[in-house]
Amino acid sequence: MISANELTFIRGGRRLVDAVNLDLKPATMTVVIGPNGAGKSTLLKLMTGEIRPDGGSVLLDGADVTTLSARELAARRAVLPQSLALSFPFTALEIVRMGAIAHGSLTPERDARAALHRVGLAGFEGRSYQALSGGEQQRVQFARVLAQAPQPVENGVAKALFLDEPTSSLDIGHQIAVLEIARDFARAGGAVLAILHDLNLAAEFADRLVVLHRGRVVASGTSVETLSDRTISEVYGISGAVGRVPPAHIPFILPQARHG
């Protein structure tokens, strides 16, 4: 569906993304992890067509994304950026309506209300976006993305969600809720690329996990294949962190345990 081929991006003489190859496929949730400055957000911007690469290409069903119009791109993928500053006093409903309009909805207000309800923000329609908490703003933006891509597959064509740290401002309950919606989107035939910092959540939700370090892919595969002590040590500089229980006097939260 979407393929990055030898993708390279250089700024200030530094390769922020270095010869990355990555395929996003329908019915697959791909999660990218890596330390700060690894190039994750830059990679996402390249794959969405927001910025142009210095080398390589990104193809959407064979078409270079740099040749597609904003309308053509909006029809195939929706993007949740890491941050989005707004200077106008929009309401939550108005923000989400923008996504529904980008989708071409004939009933944008109804669809926007449905998206807000889906992320647990029913009743927030008239609230000022700027007056919301950081977590509430993030969920409004996620609702906007869902309004832009309400169905994972339309007329036989798969849609894609690009989510840059979609859980960064959320409590653990809402983190799980957002990622469950994203995973359901993939299971229904869509493609998802999410950037996460929480390795436990990445391990649970990723169909494919990609580890990015210094602009390069250093590991890719299932969570079991990629989350090794060696990889975590090399990338994050900590050792003995995979699959081990901390000392008895240190409490820990394991979200995966809710399944069994």
Task: Work out the pLDDT band at 207, boundaries 50, 70, 90.
Answer: very high
In a domain, 81, yes or no: no
14-60 confidence digits (pLDDT tens): 999 999 999 999 999 999 999 999 999 999 999 999 999 999 999 99
Q: Are residues 163 and 253 in the same domain?
A: yes
Any residues with CB less than 8 A from the CB of 246 and at least 6 apart, and which? 252
Please answer whether residues 64 and 7 qualify as being in contact, where contact means their C-beta atoms are separated by less than 8 angstroms: no
What total of structural domains would you count in the chain?
A: 2
Give, in order, the Cα–Cα distances in Å from 220 to each of 8, 128, 217, 251. Answer: 18, 41, 7, 31
Positive/negative CA dihedral, 148, 56, 208, 138: negative
Instruction: Provide the mean pLDDT of the chain.
Output: 94
How far from chain centre, in Å, is Cα 231?
22
Q: Is the pLDDT of residue 9 over 80?
A: yes
Cα–Cα dist 108/105, whole Å: 5
Q: What is the CATH number of the domain that holds 25?
A: 3.40.50.300
Largest interatomic CA distance in the chain: 57
Q: Are residues 173 and 135 in the same domain?
A: no
Tokens 């996003």 correspond to 24
Are both 233 and 252 inside the same structural domain? yes
Q: Is it the case that residue 86 has pLDDT exceeding 90?
A: no
Together in a domain, 209 and 236 = yes
Listed residues 150, 170, 201: the one ending a domain: 150
Q: What is the pLDDT of residue 243?
A: 74
Rg of the chain's alpha carbons, rounded to an integer?
19
Q: pTM of the predicted model, to two decimals?
A: 0.94
Indicate the residue among 150, 167, 193 that finishes a domain: 150
Whether the per-residue pLDDT at 137 is higher than 80: the answer is yes
Same-domain status, 168 and 237: yes
83: confidence class by pLDDT, cuts 50, 70, 90: confident
Count other C-beta atoms under 10 Å from residue 214's C-beta: 15
Check residues 238 and 249 and name the one with the higher pLDDT.
238
The reply to whether 67 and 168 lie within a common domain is yes
Residues 6+ apart with CB under 8 A from 128: 89, 90, 91, 92
Domain of residue 108 covers 86-150
